Structure 1
Amino acid sequence: TCSVSDIEIENGFFSESDFTYALNRETSYRCKQGYVTNTGETSGSITCLQSGWSPQPSCIKFCDMPVFENSVTKNNSTWFKINDKLDYECFIGYENEYKHTKGSITCTYYGWSDTPSCYERECSIPILDPKLVVSPRKEKYRVGDLLEFSCHSGHRVGPDSVQCYHFGWSPSFPKCKGQVASCAPPLEILNGEIKGTKKVEYSHGEVVGYVCKPRFLLKGPNKIQCVDGKWTTLPVCVEEERTCGDIPELEHGSVKLSDPPYYHGDSVEFTCAETFTMIGRGSISCISGKWTQLPKCVGKYVCIKWILYERILKAVREKGQVTY
């Protein structure tokens, strides 16, 4: 036989009231609050064998999965032993109290060594040119906040606004200059051209647009700006090899046919039957291998109903009611 007095359960106790157990008989034990068995359970069982109780009962200190604030972990465990580490990562735009986006905490006898909390990142304004006017003025700026700039005197050199991101302000802050240089005519780009009439000289702050020739796709900004005698980065026109398939059919309409293949930038025009009215653009374009949205041809009576329906919706949105 086995006796309960033969074994001591540290941080636990026997569930049953018997003191003596026959050979091969099993009994249960429970762990105190804040403790679990080696398998993470609140209770376990031991068996009376010829050599005594087996297996040895065990109740160990543990930590529950903590509550995460603006952070997440990839660990799927529900409980942790003493000295176990738990890694966590902050949401985008957040950081912990140590200004890091990642961290780890350790399970100790008294609980977790820290809380996996992350706080929204903030941007601070550096020392700026005293001639620069900043709006709005605040003590703290959160991710997404926008700052606009103007000059008390002189000319602004740089962007008219910057935004607070999780990595800081972008783009760089502007400056105020008393004298700024003008720009020579901008460079031509391969397979593209400048929009509008060219000039001999461009003033600081002037903007010039670019367009690509048919079958070419614009990569980069479609406009450049003269900034104190220098143009901002030029775009490039790259060949778009993808073509569009057959022209889609328009119900109650017809298309001015053209021969395939249809390259990037190609357009086709539609017309509606005599008793129908067109809703939408009268042409579609091939853009990066896909046709833009097809217009609709609707009966004139349907068209009038459609216009009235849109007016009713507009009235509902603006006033919350419709007056007939």
Structure 2
Amino acid sequence: MVKIIWNWEEQIVVDFLLETCSTSNIEIENGFFPEPVVVYDINKQTQYTCKSGYVTTDGEISGSVTCLQSGWSAQPKCIKSCETPLFKNARTKSNRTWFKVNDTLDYECHDGYENRHNDIKGSIVCGYNGWSDTPACDDPTEKCGPPKAISNGDITSFLLTMYPPGSRVEYQCQSYYTLQGSKYATCSNGEWSKPPRCIDPCIITEENMNENNIQLKGKNDKKYYAKAGETIEFMCKLGYSGNTGMLSFQAVCQEGIVQYPRCK
């Protein structure tokens, strides 16, 4: 802003340039100014706020900058942080309330408890997505060993030697097999809940169809896999006829078994 003062005796103009700062001229990485664009005079101070999960370099959720003749006093910066986690049957000697990325926090289990690595001590690391692990310890007698394997199915996660109570694993069936029951098993009181079953599909072969003088309706497959509960439609081969109604040519796959219709 320019302020003009007239010196009537010497008839000259003296200009005084009053420096100002605008919040539109400063960007805050991972932070923001609570107010819209504002212009500040020299020596005026304004607050900025960090986004959730970020703090200033001093570990605060907000900071301040001052308008100087040379511009803003500093470049506001908000860095990724992790708050002190909740401990389960564990403690730490650290009294810090926040941690920077790559900071490590050591903890130890209460007497008689172990973490999921079967150790009484552990460490977690602050990362961009939060802590690397949960500082939790459990009663060893309540842990579970590896979950049960199922026929024609697999567990979707990497297997561990021990699982803390409350752990859950997910099962999936191989191609064409149908999962029966809950796809999850949970560890409780040292035991896993009942795992699911993978029900056999029905394999429709050319040999079986030739024996009954039939073929798949609307398909030219010489080998067809049908999931449990699926309805398979057949029809007589050219030159053959069936001696029952059309519904008899609709067979349902029942745990790997299918009743073929017959044509003569």
Do they superpose with TM above 0.5?
no
Q: TM-score, normalised on structure 2?
A: 0.45
Q: TM-score, normalised on structure 1?
A: 0.37
